[in-house]
Every structure is written in C-alpha cells, then in structure tokens.
Amino acid sequence: MSSENWLVKLRSQGYRLTDARRAVVETMAQSPRALTPADVHDLAKEQYPALGLVTVYRTLEKLEELHLVQRVHQEQGCNAYLAHADGHQHLLICESCKKAVYFEGDDLDDFFSDVGKKHNFTVKDHWLQLFGICEDCEKEK
Amino acid sequence: MSSENWLVKLRSQGYRLTDARRAVVETMAQSPRALTPADVHDLAKEQYPALGLVTVYRTLEKLEELHLVQRVHQEQGCNAYLAHADGHQHLLICESCKKAVYFEGDDLDDFFSDVGKKHNFTVKDHWLQLFGICEDCEKEK
DNA sequence: CTCCATGCAAAATATTTGCAATTCA
DNA sequence: TGAATTGCAAATATTTTGCATGGAG
C-alpha cells in the first residue's frame, strides 16, 4: 500500500494531515526494515527537519491503531515498527541487513488448533517469525 | 528441572550460591507463568526480604545466559521470564491466567525451511507462540 | 476561527552502572 | 582472607504527559 493510501486512511478517521505526519508516513511506508521511533525520527527529519521525537511516537501509535504498521519483536528489542501486510501474514527477517518479508501461513492454523486441543487450550491467536540470512547478505560473505 | 539442579548448574559455572540467588531461582523454577523482574522481586522477597531489585536483574541475566530461563514476548511487554524447557520447544500461553505450557514443534522445521527457500533466505531460527484460553479459565466463565 | 496537532520541557518508567559494605568458599 | 556479590544511589535510556503555540480544515 502506498503512502498516499495511508494518508487517505488517516484523514478518513478524522486525523489531520500535517507535514510531520506525512514525513513519518512516507518513511514507514517505504522502509524495507523495521524502524525504532528513533530511527524514524532520524530518517523523517531529512524530509521535515522540525519533526519532534514525541510526534513520531504519537504518529506511530495512530498508525498501529489503524493497522498500517505493526510492532516487530526481536532479540535486540521490541520497539521497532514495520508496514503491515494485508491479512494475517508472518515475518521472515534477515539477521544481517534486517530486511523483512511477509509470507502466508494459512497451512498452519489446523496444526495450531491441534496443539491447543492436546493441552486443553482454545487457541485464539498465534505469533510466528522466522530469522535467517537473505540472498544478498549471503553473497557478501 | 528442580531448583536444586539450577543451583548446581550455577555453582558449576563458578557462581556463588547466595540467599538472594536461591530466592530468585526458587521463585522462577516453580512459577507456572512468566514473571517480570518486578514480579520476581515481589515474590522472592517473601523468602528473602532483603533482596534488591538490582540483584533480580543480575540473577535473571545469568539464568538466561545458562538457558535456565527465557524471555517471553507478549503484547503487554517483553520483559517477562519463564523457566526454559529442554530442547527446542514452543509456548502456549493462556491470555487469562497467563499460565504457560511448552509443546513440541519438530514437524514445522521443514515447512519453515521451504518458506525460506521460496524467498531466498537461509532460515536459522524461528519464534512461535500460541495464545488462547486454558481449560480452567474457560470453565470460570 | 475553532480545535487538533506540535514541540518543548518535565515527569514517569525501566534498566544499568559505580561503589562501599558484606559474605561465600 | 580474597574475590565475588549485594543493595543502595545515581546515571541512562525509553516512553509518556502537561502545556502554550501554531496550523489544518
């Protein structure tokens, strides 16, 4: 989804479109990897130098609420955000360059339900992430 | 694994056995759910009132290093620790009472490898967690 | 022209570090 | 006894909140 659509969605929720929000949205929409609030601040300031870190926090909060971005959990920390995929998809993350790719995992739902049954749980949700090395980083070695 | 074994393992790594560590170890070893450092502090102080929060942080760090506990990531936060299972197992967590249960997922490794191949990644590791409601909590409703 | 949004400063949290006193081995 | 460990206090790091100003609609 392009950053234009993100802006339309924000507007349709009654949020105003400001230069600060545009800078954060465009930064997030085009990033191939998950970004921390500080990362976003650094990158988006190139486009809108007056941007404050607090506004980054507040904008990410709204984008998460609208499911335009999602929080990504990693060993190094759990405060990085990535553009959200449509539907329920899972993440494959390169441990070297941090590039993130989504993949479908529909095949897994039955397996997860069975695991639940075995332990007398009703499974409501799941969370899956793969970590590895992408082709580009593999070549560089 | 009993807390006695944890103490033996700590000792075998050259760490000293103190009342503070015993209190933290026993608290972690017997907890059915993941605990934050503050949780551990509160619980372990019943056994050893002089316990400082800093010591809890430092002890959890060592226990994680020895793979006796692992960090658990959840919506509410990523700073809770749980006794580690033997081998590579995955977590099933009750969203109501927070009880955590391990399950085997050996069947999944091939699937994960295939996903990686499809995206030209060499998959090194994965994280999987299921969330649901356990039998006991289901009954209470 | 009316609020919503912003950025700053300050507050609230969470975690780590320096250090003198203590205690395990 | 000597080095590891402890708890306190203080330093960092991260995130949130209060508030006066500015800007979108």
Q: Please name the member of B103, B123, B135 whose beta carbon is closest to the beta carbon of A130.
A: B123
Instruction: Give domain status of residue B141, yes or no.
Output: no
B121 chain-A contacts, CB cut-off 8 A: 92, 94, 101, 130, 132-135
User: Would you say residue A140 lies in a domain?
Assistant: no
* Cβ B69 vs Cβ B81: under 8 Å: yes
Query: Which nucleotide's C1' sits nearest to the alpha carbon of A17?
Result: D24
**Residue A141 pLDDT exceeds 80:** no
Using a CB–CB cutoff of 8 Å, tell me whether B132 touches chain A: yes
**Buried b / exposed e along A39-78 (16+ C-beta atoms within 10 A):** bbbebbbeebeebeeebbeebbebbeeeebbbbbbbeeeb
**Bridge-partner residues for B93, per DSSP?**
B100, B131
- pLDDT above 90 covers a percentage of chain A that reads 91
B85 touching chain A per CB within 8 A:
no
**Same domain, residue pair B98 and B72:** no
Q: Tokens standing for B81?
A: 């620790």
**B78 and B10, same structural domain?**
yes
Would you state the pLDDT for residue A127? 95
Q: Is the dihedral angle over the CA atoms A114, B36, B33, B13 positive or is it negative? A: positive
Residues A104 and A39 occupy one common structural domain: no
A42 CA → D11 C1’, Å:
25
Query: Are A72 and A95 members of one domain?
Result: no
B27, B38 Cβ separation under 8 angstroms: no
Three-point CA angle A79, A81, A87, nearest 5°: 130
Q: What's the confidence (pLDDT) of residue B3?
A: 87
Same domain as B102, residue B76: no
Same domain, B39 and B98: no
Specify whether the CB–CB gap between B7 and B25 falls below 8 A: yes
pLDDT at B6 over 80: yes
Distance CA A99, CA A93 (A): 6
Each residue's pLDDT tens digit, A75-131: 989 999 999 998 889 999 999 999 999 999 888 999 999 999 999 999 999 999 999
A132/B contact by beta carbon, under 8 A: yes
The whole-angstrom distance between B38's CA and the closest CA on chain A is: 19
Q: Which domain holds residue B49?
A: 3-83
Q: Is the pLDDT of residue A1 over 70?
A: no
CATH of the domain at A12: 1.10.10.10
**How many other β-carbons are positioned within 10 Å of the β-carbon of residue B107?**
8
Q: What is the mean predicted confidence (pLDDT) over B22-29?
A: 98
Kindly report the CATH number assigned to the domain that includes residue B96: 3.30.1490.190
Going by pLDDT thresholds of 50, 70 and 90, the confidence category of residue B111 is very high
Q: In terms of DSSP bridges, do strands A121-134 and A89-94 run parallel, antiparallel, or are they unpaired?
A: parallel
Q: What percent of chain B has pLDDT over 70?
A: 99
Separation between the CA of B52 and the C1’ of C21 (whole angstroms): 15
Average pLDDT over residues B83-102: 95
User: Is B98 found in the same domain as B71?
Assistant: no
Structure confidence at residue B30 as a pLDDT band (50, 70, 90) = very high
CB A80 within 8 A of CB A93: no
Residue A71: band (very low, low, confident or very high) from pLDDT cuts 50, 70, 90: very high
DSSP state of B56: H
Pick out the nucleotide with least CA–C1' distance to B53.
D7
Domain check: are A35 and A69 in the same one?
A: yes
Q: How many domains does chain B have?
A: 2
Closest residue to C3 by CA to C1' distance? A16
Protein residue nearest nucleotide C8, by CA to C1': A52
pLDDT at residue B1 tops 70: no
Q: In the predicted model, what is the mean pLDDT of residues B90-109?
A: 94
Q: How far apart are CA A130 and CA A100, in angstroms?
A: 10
**Residue A141: its chain B contacts at CB < 8 A?**
none
Task: Measure the CA–CA gap between B27 and B42, rounded to whole angstroms.
Answer: 10
Instruction: Tell me the sheet residues that pair with B129.
Output: A127, B91
B95 touches chain A (CB under 8 A): yes
Cβ of A26: how many Cβ atoms within 10 Å? 19
Q: Which of residues B83, B100, B123 is at a domain's end?
A: B83
